[in-house]
Amino acid sequence: MKNRKPNILFLLSDQHTPSVMGCYGNGTVQTPNLDRLANEGVVFDGFYCNSPLCVPSRMSMLTGRYPWKIDVLKNQHTLDSRIPTFAHMVAGAGYRTALAGRMHFVGDDQRHGFQERVGGDFGIYAYHAVSPTNFAPLNRDGCIADGTQAAPLLHAGSGDTETIELDRRTNAAAREWIDRYVREDGAHPFLLTVGYFSPHCPFIAPPEYFKRYEGIVGHPDFTEGDYEQLHPIHKTYADICGARKVPPDNLDRAVAAYYGLVNYLDDLVGEILATLEAHGLLDNTIVIYSSDHGEMLGAHGRWHKDCFFDQSARVPFIVRFPDGSVRRRIAEPSSLVDLLPTLVDLTGAPGHTLDLDGRSLVPLMRGKACEPSIIRCEDYLHGACNRMIRLGDIKLCFYSGYDRQELYDLAADPGETHNRIDDPNYASMRETLTKLLFSDGWHTNVLADTEARLQKIGFHDLSKSAWQGTTLIKDGVVTDVPGYDIGMLDYKSKLV
């Protein structure tokens, strides 16, 4: 079955660092299905998120605009439904659009342009001891799915979790949607987005996957001397997170579980690809794989995300065209804001008047020379306003409230171990990148300005209630949170 336009399958994971993939040079992890996409498609080696945190990254990716321009800077911020997403754009080109599983939408709007929603998401309530759904809460001596705490590292290993079950159900829902599409439609091209929770913590993998890596992989060495060499912002994070107090065996199990979750995710991808092949759809479907941000896995003494080291800010990005007709590796840096204009280009979607921050990647993938892209990534952990900018091989990390910044030459120092900020040989590049940090209007009061604006127009900030777990739960009962409809979290009728 072929359509005039190609179908699009967009596979989006959560917290997958490219270094734990065979096609990105890891010889231990088993990722045959993702490697197949890479071998038959285009692999971007320098691809970044625009915020190393779930919600800002995803909303930025969906809209093609930086987080600060859409007022989504934290996991508790809601994307304004009036802002178009790539789902709106592609539907305008005659595509049937569907979202299966996770996208981490905050608020009542759980579609943001997708015509169909199959399968639910893992709601904020499940992070805080009580869940009004058939998904039990992830709360065991702390939140084992919270990417700012040591709790996930203290409960690492083999087992089953609600997030693993969510991914199982998401895959089943996506495959059923494909079957239904073939039965009911088949005339219109589709954009199917499949969102997975894996390999995000909890660092607990199904037993058969965990056993493959237990004792084989482990955490990187990190000494007190290494800690003393860190920039103060990383020391502060390490102290708050508490990972240095976690027993080394736990850290090794966390890494093994993460590898297992990546392996598990790869098998889910294989199931989706097999379903497309069984219906004869793969030969007319563009398949894209990416993630919202990476995972530090103990590098530089850090775990989780929320920083600009490549393990956190860099993401995989693979595009397989039908029949594997375009194959290459691209070193030039790009980022997730490029996805919307790329999808518009691939589908022939009508243009719009928004001032996008991304650009279409189609010319690059077709082998055309393009102007170097300026990569911008922003983070607001603990109320700070931090921003990274990369041009060519040079990366500048700016931290508001600190006198000293970080500058890395990724060609000479891919491990980001030598801060060149005071090196006179990099003075000119430091000056250039510092100017570019602020050249688009971003500033160090952007978080305060954003929250004041949101409060003025009545957007509820969940960090004032649900995220702290104080007004959310009282005597084991879920309380009312303005702007967040618990009814939308009833997956039982949506995930069967």
pLDDT in tens, 68-93: 999 999 888 889 999 999 999 999 99
How far is residue 70's CA from residue 358's CA, in Å, rounded to a whole number? 14
pLDDT band at 421 (very low <50, low <70, confident <90, very high): very high
Residue 496 pLDDT more than 60? no
Percentages helix, strand, coil for the chain, rounded to the nearest 5?
40, 15, 45
Mean pLDDT score of the chain: 86
DSSP assignment letter at 235:
H
CA dihedral 290, 295, 296, 302 (to 10 degrees): 140
What pLDDT sits at residue 123?
A: 61
What pLDDT sits at residue 372?
A: 86
HSE, CB side, 13 Å, CA atoms: give it for residue 120.
20
pLDDT band at 478 (very low <50, low <70, confident <90, very high): very low
Higher-confidence position of 226 and 275 = 275
Residue 58 pLDDT more than 50? yes
HSE, CB side, 13 Å, CA atoms: give it for residue 201.
30
Residue 460 pLDDT more than 70? no
**Stretch 174-186: mean pLDDT:** 91
CA angle 138, 139, 140 (to 5 degrees): 120
How far is residue 41's CA from residue 390's CA, in Å, rounded to a whole number? 25
How far is residue 467's CA from residue 191's CA, in Å, rounded to a whole number? 33
What pLDDT sits at residue 377?
A: 98
Q: Which of 185-194, 321-330, 336-345, 369-378 has the highest mean pLDDT?
A: 336-345
| Domains of the chain from N-terminus onward | 7-375 (3.40.720.10)
